[in-house]
Amino acid sequence: MNRLTLLAAGALALAGAAAQAQVVVRDAQTGQLRAPNAAEMQQLEVARQLRDRANRGVLSGKLNPQPVRMPGGEDSLEHTEAMMNYSVVVTLPGGRLVRQCVADMAMAERVARGEMPSFAKSMQERLNER
Amino acid sequence: MSADRTSLLRRLALVATGCAALLAAGQAAAQATFVILNNNSPGIGFNDPTPATPVGGNTGTTLGQQRQIAAQHAANIWGANLSSPVPIYIGAQFTALTCTETSAVLGSAGATSSQRNFVGAPFADTWYPVALRNKLVGMEASPGAAQITMNFNANLGTPGCLPASPWYLGLDNNAPPGHINLVVVLLHEFAHGLGFAVSPTNGSTGARSSLSPSIWERFMFDNVTGLTWFQMTSNAQRAASSIAVDKLAWQGSNVVAAAPSVLRQGIATLGIAGKPVSNPRDVTAGEASFGAPFSATPFTGEVMPVVDQANGTGLACTPLSAANARAVSGKVALVDRGTCNFVIKANNVRAAGAIGMIVVDNVAAALPPNIGGSDPGITFPMASLRQVDGQALRADLQRRSRTSSGVFATFKLTGTQLAGADLAGRVKLFTPNPFQGGSSVSHWDTTAFRHQLMEPAINGDLTQSVVPPIDLTVPLFQDIGW
């Protein structure tokens, strides 16, 4: 997904469904802006939902929770999904399984969907397997 | 998920499965009581009624029961090693998470909140993870609320979700090859929830949440600037520190005191000597993640090169020729890095009768590479050399016969520096460049040896101990106030 597409997803997140008519993507082959097809819209929606989920409090579900002043002057900051630690497992070439901590929820999802072959490659390089 | 919904599901799950007694019975008579709050609905996750055969000390007879027992077992290990006058609640569930045939999200976990400026806080304007805050105050910030949350993959090992790699639910740390040891993964993730993390400070940007540092920052010592993250005056300083390879270390007194009993003392070294060697010398060696590790007992062998390339070097990526096999049989085989992985090279020279292997780097670098990979069938010692050191060794080998060189390499440890610590004995934190989200800063460096529970990748040789002389996690927790 190119940069413009991501920007479009941001617009979706801000303006909701009403903004869908304004969403454009840059065609990878022609370089021209155009309306997204159904598959691209679905990708954008998945990305939007992931961002939305990442910024919600893990207890209250509130978006972007802020510190709350408690009686006695104590502050409490609810953590978001984005602050969780994710554990992913990837099969390296040759069949070896590697488990790795990943804090970025979107990255964890992409790794698990096999959309980041570069992750497995970098893991292999970091592990100096060849 | 809202608090109301969580509470409702919890009640439903407990009523539906009758597992309240089981969970209560699973709580250890420990210094801290950990309670697993079952957030799954009836019939799924912790309540999955699929029959299961007891395995590795896990006596559950359904999949759900075995998951509960494994989770409580991991929690009890922390309970036996930490103290708190109030219960530590873990909101827990198994759900369907993203996966494919070859990769998966195993799960997620973390603290549910941070607190600052509570009564009796050791440091003002400093964020503490809620479970630690509760311990220090002696009272729960929100009675009964989860202080740690965890969500793990219910589908692992099923068709379409790493089908050959299910969870190993045994408690005995004896997972078959290819299985994922749930207890060890939970130990690691619970530790993040208990405070083994720089959050809520952003490890990548160095930005603080509401301008306050986390307690973790007071112990992160940057060897470049001579400052802790707490002392740094800008986000940019902290961001630079997060990618200062090999330079960020933990200065907490409990970890520094415990490190000599946990980490190996001495740097991996190859001693090069023999009649043809004009300058007998010690050179720094890279280590292997498989084979016989460097130890206090030196190993010495005669070195012979593999020659299978036109320029006189040797890759050993295919079975050795008869001439090469005769040369390295009973010797330490010298090979070059590249083309195939280290496991293949090691197996090829082993098949020819070699008793060790030295790999010469194929690029100029400041340090010799680690020899990564895994093969329990390889039991001989291995080491790597920087390209320049390898070239010098090859020069020593010029006047050899077909089966003998007279050049000997001794695999040994030298000096007193701890493996994974800086020169002052501070244990290094993981700071690769570029920054690796989730791994950088909030884990021990991968050069630690013995391997540690809180390295970014979970190593296969981990035990379930979280204290010295095996592990440094509990000393770190003591440093931050546990």
B242-271 per-position pLDDT tens digit: 999 889 999 999 999 999 999 999 999 999
Q: Is B2 left (phi over 0), alpha (psi -120 to 50) or beta?
A: beta
Neighboring chain A residues of B119 at a CB cutoff of 8 Å: 72, 74
Whether residue B435 is predicted with pLDDT greater than 80 in this model: the reply is no
Domains of chain B plus CATH, in order, are: 3-194 (no CATH), 215-262+420-480 (no CATH), 265-416 (3.50.30.30)
What mean pLDDT comes out for the span A20-44?
80
Partner residue facing A76 (CB), from B107, B113, B432? B113
Whether residue B460 is predicted with pLDDT greater than 60 in this model: the reply is yes
**Alpha carbons within 13 A on the beta-carbon side of B449:** 19
What mean pLDDT comes out for the span B433-454?
83
Please tell me the distance from the alpha carbon of residue B337 to that of residue B384, in angstroms, as a whole number.
Answer: 9
Quick one: pLDDT at residue B437?
A: 62
Residue B94 pLDDT grade (very low, low, confident, very high; cuts 50, 70, 90): very high
Averaged pLDDT score across all residues of chain B: 91
Quick one: pLDDT at residue A102?
A: 81
Whether residue A31 is predicted with pLDDT greater than 50 in this model: the reply is yes
Quick one: pLDDT at residue B20?
A: 36
Enumerate residues 72 to 101 of chain A having a beta carbon within 8 A of any beta carbon in chain B.
72-79, 81, 83-91, 94, 96-101
Residues A54 and A90 in one domain: no
What mean pLDDT comes out for the span A113-120?
77
Whether residue B463 is predicted with pLDDT greater than 70 in this model: the reply is yes
Whether residue B182 is predicted with pLDDT greater than 50 in this model: the reply is yes
Residues A51 and A19 in one domain: yes
- Is B341–A105 a contact, with Cβ atoms under 8 angstroms apart? no
Phi, psi of B5 (to 5 degrees): -65, -40
Quick one: pLDDT at residue B401?
A: 97
Domain for residue A71, yes or no?
Answer: no
What mean pLDDT comes out for the span B75-104?
96
Domain for residue A98, yes or no?
Answer: yes
Q: Which amino acid is at A111?
A: V
DSSP secondary structure letters along B230-255: TT--SHHHHHHHTT-TTTEEE--HHH
Residue A129 pLDDT grade (very low, low, confident, very high; cuts 50, 70, 90): low
Largest Cα–Cα separation, chain B = 80
Quick one: pLDDT at residue A30?
A: 87
Residue A95 pLDDT grade (very low, low, confident, very high; cuts 50, 70, 90): confident
| A/B interface, count of CB pairs below 8 Å | 183
Residues A100 and A50 in one domain: no
Given a contact cutoff of 8 angstroms between Cβ atoms, the answer to whether B60 and B66 are in contact is yes
Tokens of B20: 């309240």
Partner residue facing B373 (CB), from A76, A113, A129? A129
Structural domain containing residue A41? 3-61
Distance from CA of A38 to the nearest CA of B (A): 22
- Is A112–B103 a contact, with Cβ atoms under 8 angstroms apart? yes
Residues A56 and A90 in one domain: no
Tally: H helices and E strands in chain A: 4, 6
Domain for residue A46, yes or no?
Answer: yes
Domain for residue A80, yes or no?
Answer: no
Given a contact cutoff of 8 angstroms between Cβ atoms, the answer to whether B385 and B358 are in contact is yes
The more confident residue out of A52 and B179 is B179
Averaged pLDDT score across all residues of chain A: 76
Quick one: pLDDT at residue B417?
A: 93
Enumerate residues 30 to 59 of chain A having a beta carbon within 8 A of any beta carbon in chain B.
58-59
Task: Please tell me the least confidently modeled range out of B174-183, B209-218, B284-293, B451-460.
Answer: B451-460
Please tell me the distance from the alpha carbon of residue A64 to that of residue B287, in angstroms, as a whole number.
Answer: 45
C-alpha torsion angle, residues B154, B102, A124, B263 (rounded to 10): 30
The more confident residue out of A37 and B283 is B283
Q: Is B480 left (phi over 0), alpha (psi -120 to 50) or beta?
A: alpha
Residues A101 and A57 in one domain: no
Neighboring chain B residues of A101 at a CB cutoff of 8 Å: 188, 192, 438-439, 442-443, 456-457
Order of strands, sheet of B299-305, starting from the edge strand that comes earlier in the sequence: B281-284, B265-274, B407-418, B299-305, B332-336, B356-360, B382-385
Domain for residue A99, yes or no?
Answer: yes
Tokens of B184: 């060890």
Residues A7 and A57 in one domain: yes
Please tell me the distance from the alpha carbon of residue B376 to that of residue B290, in angstroms, as a whole number.
Answer: 7
What are the pLDDT digits (tens) for B312-365? 999 999 999 999 999 999 999 999 999 998 999 999 999 999 999 999 999 998
Please tell me the distance from the alpha carbon of residue B381 to that of residue B298, in angstroms, as a whole number.
Answer: 10
What mean pLDDT comes out for the span A86-103?
83
Give pTM, 2 decimals.
0.82
b/e per residue A89-103 (b: at least 16 CB within 10 A):
bbbbeeebbbbbbbb
What mean pLDDT comes out for the span B95-100?
94
pLDDT over 90 for what percent of chain B?
Answer: 83
Whether residue A2 is predicted with pLDDT greater than 50 in this model: the reply is no
Whether residue B434 is predicted with pLDDT greater than 80 in this model: the reply is no
Whether residue A45 is predicted with pLDDT greater than 90 in this model: the reply is no
The more confident residue out of A50 and A30 is A30
Domain for residue A107, yes or no?
Answer: yes
Number of domains in chain A: 2
Please tell me the distance from the alpha carbon of residue A82 to that of residue A12, in angstroms, as a whole number.
Answer: 20
Domain for residue A32, yes or no?
Answer: yes
User: Chain centroid to CA A124: how far?
Assistant: 23
Domain for residue A69, yes or no?
Answer: no
Residues A53 and A16 in one domain: yes
Residues A57 and A89 in one domain: no
Which of A61, A76, A109 marks a domain boundary?
Answer: A61
